[in-house]
Structure 1
Amino acid sequence: MEVTSSIPVGWQELSVFDIADRQKARFDDGDWVEALHITNAGVRLIQTGNIGVGSFIEKDNKKYIYETSFVSLKCKPLEIGDLLICRLAEPAGRACILPDIGDAKVVTSVDVSIFRPDPQRFDRGFLVQYLSTPKWFESVVENVGGTTHKRISRSALGKIKVSIPINKLEQSAIATALGDVDALLAAQNALIAKKHAIKQGAMQELLTGKRRLPGFSGEWEVKRLGDHLEFLGNGANSRAELMNDGRVRYLHYGDIHGTNEVLLNPTITAMPFLPEAKAVRLDRLGDGDLVFADASEDLDGVGKSVELQSVGKFEVVSGMHTIAVRFDKGILADGFKAYLQFIPSFQTHLRRLASGTKVYATNMSHIASAEVKLPSPAEQVAISAVFTDMDTELTALEAQRAKAVQLKQGMMQALLTGRIRLV
């Protein structure tokens, strides 16, 4: 198909307010609900946190307002299928379609715009896909105001242009194609969440001895960690002293808290490098060494660590705000050390001793004084192998999800610009 301008033949460019037929009844804000109106039962309240990019997010902690508040505020009841656009960052402009959430009456807050285009001319599935594109968010960002709370006004939101097929059948075909990929992603996300939950349950059982693997029996032994470890020297180098390339990788506090993996492989992690001259007197780390972050912004993060695996051709040193530990491998086996941070008695010990209020700090004496009940090294290896198998499966599932995300992005770029036509 030949495109004679930026708008394909058979498409039109309309503002959000134009799509709402320039009627306030079709494009209005939610209600000015304050804390005094909120209760634990009554009329369901949809808040900004319920609105994701293209999807509705149900929360465990549901909010409601009083029936009397619904009347006194003259609230606008929502309808299933309403498009809800969040005017508050982050990101401002994100939108979803209100599903059937099982409540008879539903309202939303003032920072959410209620968008009800004519269903005879506009497919809301197409619109919610368009309102999830980078182009849309770029337009929103250009109109965002405020200092403490970034938001876009409804009038500014209503002026943003949307490219849309004139034929509703084409809108619906695009919405269906993209919706099918969304369904695939939702299924993949659910499966990944299930696998994570299974692993979490296995960790709670296997790391405490509540469940034993076949072939293992006997009591676990309590070990004082300080009797079986060596603390390694770390650097105190600033970010300005680090380089983009070199030989000595520098494991920083942020690299530990920034990784989602239990095991950190320095050969593939984008860690910065420390110049040789700066690293000369620092202890080199090797496979099986455990590196802790010495502080966390929340108590649950105290004791977070990574175990080095497959260091390979690079040398690795630990840096500022880290505690590097080399354990006796006859007490803590390679692979199992990564899970020390998840053993409940170790977690409890570090969190009890952690100092601070806004930032919780741990230190070498806290780690050394911990007494932990441990299985034999052979059982540790078997336990870590179970977790490794689970991680391998999760990695494969997450790779499949990443491919589906790329597919969705490519489809959006092609279908929501009219570059590829389905009708």
Structure 2
Amino acid sequence: MVKDWKRVKIGELLDFKNGLNKGKDFFGSGTPIINYMDVYKKNGLHSADITGKVSLDEKEIKRYEVKKGDVFFTRTSETPEEVGIASVLLDDIDACVFSGFVLRGRPKTDMLLPEYCKYCFSTHEVRQKIIASCTYTTRALTNGTQLSKIEISVPDKDEQFRIVSSLTEVDQLIDKSEKLVKKYQDLKQACLQHMFPRAGQTEPDVRLPGFTGPWEQRKLGEITSKIGSGKTPSGGGKAYVKTGIPLIRSQNVHDDMIDFSDIVFINNEINKSMENSIVTINDVLLNITGASIGRSAVYKSTEPANVNQHVCIIRPVSRYCSDFIQLHISSERGQKQIELSQAGGAREGLNFQQIGKFKFFFPSYEEQVKIGEYFGKVNNLITLHQRTCEKYKKIKQGMMEELLSGKIRLV
């Protein structure tokens, strides 16, 4: 421990309260509400970031009110890695509440600067303690009692300010990089709108040279040989080995790509016991639970792999192109079909029957392939900028580990 820093339990700093639970019919209009995804996506929240609405009476608004400086933690998810992620409210917002899928930690002292709370609950040490303390049956779960027992190191406010100033510079680089990624993603979506039939049409506005004729609408269940997922191996993390068969989890499936940097492995015996979820080349993988629901990618490797229960395999029959199906899923129309099965303060999950009913338009196989190749080049450009963004995030995480542990002091 750093000599002039204090070692304090989170429960001495924050007073925890569970959030609001309402039926799906109450959401969509009314009072602003901080939802799970707001907390999950950003470590600091401004009023413009809060877009959810819920219909409440005055007593409910007062009971679940939020204030500037309140710290929110994701309370429950499909995986322990998505539990206990923190975000601080940086604006005063009139009549705003918070969802039951997050916990509110209200400051009991003035020991922490609100801006410092963007970082101090996200170090590797604190995250590992939060993950280790959560419970898991069908879902991972934390609560105020568990979080209150975790200790963090707290410097004086002057040093907190210097740490925040240093990390804010990296945050600005990340923000600039993310905006560039979004620019190209928006460009891709605009191209998809023109190169896929609009509502009520059977042909797109823009066609690649050499192709004509109407497209045919089909349900995914009609043009696939498999829609299904795997399971978590018996013993959970203890079943993982240093080398073996890759087990693809939801954190590995990103938008249009599979990230193997955080992959875990299972042995051949476990893989054989999960033979129903063995992945083959050109399978479409779709995240069906948790904060990353709706992300998808095509598995391009010839090496064997498997998936857990949070990732669904979509395996098309012949004459249907995997890259084209993945484009449909990632399009606004595809994401809308996913969102229609979600409501309220959290994204709950997709089942195989829902996925099988997704409706998309398909041209000839040859045109599907050409469209997939065209957007593959766009995806490569997006991936290039995403890697730059990830590089900045790794730099930031490294700085956090040094600055928030006191290994490097800013004087």
TM-score between both structures, scaled by the size of structure 1: 0.59
| Alpha-carbon separation, structure 2, partners of 1:361 and 1:49 | 22
The number of residues matched between the two structures is 341
For the pair shown, which has the larger CA radius of gyration, 1 or 2?
1
Match of 1:11 among 5, 10, 26: 5
Aligned residue number for residue 150 of structure 1 = 141
Q: 2:392 aligns with which of 393, 404, 420?
A: 404
In structure 2, what is the equivalent of residue 219 of structure 1?
212
SS in 2 for 1:405: helix
Q: How is 1:5-404 mapped onto 2 (pairs within 5 angstroms)?
A: 7-18=1-12, 20=13, 27-30=14-17, 33-35=20-22, 43-52=31-40, 54-56=43-45, 58=49, 60-70=51-61, 75=63, 77-88=65-76, 91-100=82-91, 103-108=93-98, 112-116=103-107, 118-119=109-110, 121-145=111-135, 150-154=141-145, 156-166=146-156, 168-208=157-197, 210-212=204-206, 216=209, 219-220=212-213, 260=254, 306=298, 338-339=323-324, 342=327, 358-360=351-353, 372-374=362-364, 383-384=371-372, 386-404=374-392
The CA RMSD over aligned residues, in Å, is 5.5
For structure 2, which runs of at least 5 residues remain unmatched after alignment? 198-202, 219-223, 226-232, 234-240, 273-279, 307-312, 338-349
Structure 1 residues 175 and 305: CA distance shift in structure 2, 3 A:
closer
Amino acid at match of 2:84: G
Cα distance between partner residues in 2 of 1:85 and 1:224: 42
Q: CA deviation at 1:75?
A: 2.4
For the Cα contact (< 8 Å) 1:221–1:374, is it kept in 2? no
1:139-173 residue CA offsets vs partner (Å, 9 max, x unmatched): 3345445756622334x43343221223x221111
Deviation string 1:81-139 (CA, Å, 9 cap, x unpaired) is 322344555544322111337x42223367623332654x5322223311011211233
Structure 1: distance between partners of 2:215 and 2:76: 52
| CA distance in 2: counterparts of 1:296 and 1:163, whole angstroms | 36
- Partner SS state of residue 80, structure 1: coil
Q: 1:56, CA displacement in angstroms?
A: 3.9
Secondary structure at the aligned position of 1:404 is classed as helix
Distance 2:124 2:216 in 1: 54
What is the CA–CA distance in structure 2 between the aligned matches of 1:263 and 1:76, rounded to whole Å?
A: 39
CA distance in 2, matches of 1:130, 1:29: 17
Change (3 A) 1:99 1:63: farther
Give the equivalent residue in structure 2 for 1:367.
none
1:106 and 1:218 map into 2 onto residues whose CA distance is: 52
Deviates more, 1:391-400 or 1:183-192: 183-192
Q: Deviations over 1:279-328 (max 9, x none)?
A: xxxxxxx9xx96578x9979xx99x995869x7xx8x999xx8867666x
Separation (CA, whole Å) in 2 of partners of 1:212 and 1:392: 22
Query: Deviations along 1:338-378, whole A, 9 cap, x unmatched?
Result: 3266579xx99xx9xxxxx9434999xxxxxx995449x6x
In the aligned structure 2, how far is the partner of 1:34 from the partner of 1:124?
Answer: 26
Distance 1:144 1:308, change over 3 A: closer
CA contact (8 A) 1:117 1:124 kept: no
Q: Deviations over 1:10-63 (max 9, x none)?
A: 322222344x4xxxxxx3333664538967655444345542272449565422
Paired-residue identity, %: 18
* Distance change (3 Å), C-alpha of 1:150 and 1:385: closer
Aligned to 2:142, what secondary structure does the other structure show? coil
2:147 maps to a residue whose letter is L
When residues 117 and 192 of structure 1 are mapped into structure 2, their CA distance, relative to the original with a 3 A threshold, is farther
| Structure 1 unaligned residues grouped into runs of 5+ | 1-6, 21-26, 226-230, 233-238, 279-285, 352-356, 364-369
* 1:418 aligns to 2:389 (yes or no): no
- 1:256–1:305: 8 Å Cα contact kept in structure 2? no
TM-score for both structures, normalised by structure 2:
0.60
Cα distance in 2 for partners of 1:292, 1:142 equals: 32
Q: 1:213 to 1:251 in 2, by over 3 A?
A: farther
Instruction: Tell me which moved more, 201-210 or 403-412.
Output: 201-210
Look up the match of 1:366. Answer: none
Match of 1:283 in 2: none
